[in-house]
Amino acid sequence: MITYILLIVGFALLIKGADFLVKGASSIARIFKVSDLIVGLTIVAFGTSMPELVVNIFASSKGNSDIAIGNIVGSNIFNILIILGISSVIFPLVVTKRTVWIEIPLTLFAALILGLLANDYIFTKSGFRGLTRIDGLILLFIFAGFLYYVFLIARKKEKSPDTTSEDAQFTLTKSILFVAIGFAGLFIGAKFVVDNAIVLAAKLGVSQSLIALTIVAAGTSLPELATSAIAAYKKNSDIAVGNIVGSNIFNIFFILGISASIKPISLQPKSNIDIGVAVLASLILFIVMFSGKKHILDRWEGVIFLLIYVIYTVFLIMQG
């Protein structure tokens, strides 16, 4: 019983920690007059992905490769099939042309490059199946290119006359305090989640990768779920979709890049199936942009997303 309680407490600390971090960092950005666009594409995206990042740092440093890989791949699958599925059921999501042609294909590219780098031992004959430190640096290099792309968009938008910036929410001291509390919550919560996920997997007699792909992935994706669901309810499709697409790019290029740079991450052969599902989810997201109403994720398509995730989960449980 204590394992379940600590796991729930860990998730609560992760979510609240991310919330404090985003509020504090956003307030600091306002104080220094950083634009709304940069805040949304960097601070908010970073904040909602912090649970995955800290969980992966702990898992990677402890050598728990199944959790490190499973958490990210599982989160990306959950983000597309469950979060976008639920969000579009709440209200059909209108997707911008740029997101359809640049950012969604980039999520597909991220999943493909992960599969390639994780299996490059076939070509290099290195004997190590997984992500090496060099692979981690490659992912980080691509992420740097993505940040440059964001910077170019931000600079272009800042020239627009309708760009506004809100006043700071807190004083600088209070903002820094919020950031500090946020980081503390994230680190303590991540330790609880990783340690008790390992214990739970042993108790249930299932693999760590199954726990990571389901419970841990869903738990660390709760900030994205809350953000996108509320955005969909408020009929703000840009935030609902952009949050997920940005988070998926962030997860693979930055988080796995950092994790592999800390310590090489070995890959179990069956993990390729999960990477394949992540590729498929991104591909389906791109295809549905041209089915039915163009560049709109309709309610019926959201229901299909949810059904696909149910089928995938049943498959995982059957695999054990």
Confidence (pLDDT) at 85: 96
Chain position carrying tokens 């800290």: 54
Which residues does 53 contact at the CB level (< 8 Å), separation at least 6? 254, 255, 258
Going along the chain from its start, the domains and CATH numbers come out as 2-319 (1.20.1420.30)
Residue 59 phi, psi dihedral angles, 5° rounding: -65, -40
* pLDDT of amino acid 38: 58
Q: Give the chain's length.
A: 320
What distance in Å separates the CA atoms of residue 290 and residue 107, rounded to the nearest whole number?
17
pTM, entire model: 0.83
| Cα three-residue angle 9-14-16, rounded to 5 degrees | 90
The C-alpha atoms of residue 304 and residue 281 are separated, in whole angstroms, by 11
Partners of residue 142 on adjacent β-strands: none
- pLDDT confidence of residue 272: 93
| 3-class secondary structure, 16 | helix
pLDDT at 320: 63
The stretches in the chain having pLDDT less than 50 are: 37, 160-165
**216 and 197 Cβ atoms separated by less than 8 Å:** yes
Residue (of 206, 256, 240, 219) closest to 72 by Cα position:
256
Chain centre to alpha carbon of residue 105: 16
Alpha-carbon distance of 199 to 196, in angstroms, equals 5
Torsion of CA 22, 28, 34, 37, to 10 degrees: 10
Q: What's the pLDDT at 35? A: 57
- The whole-number pLDDT of residue 162 equals 45
In this prediction, residue 230 carries a pLDDT of 78
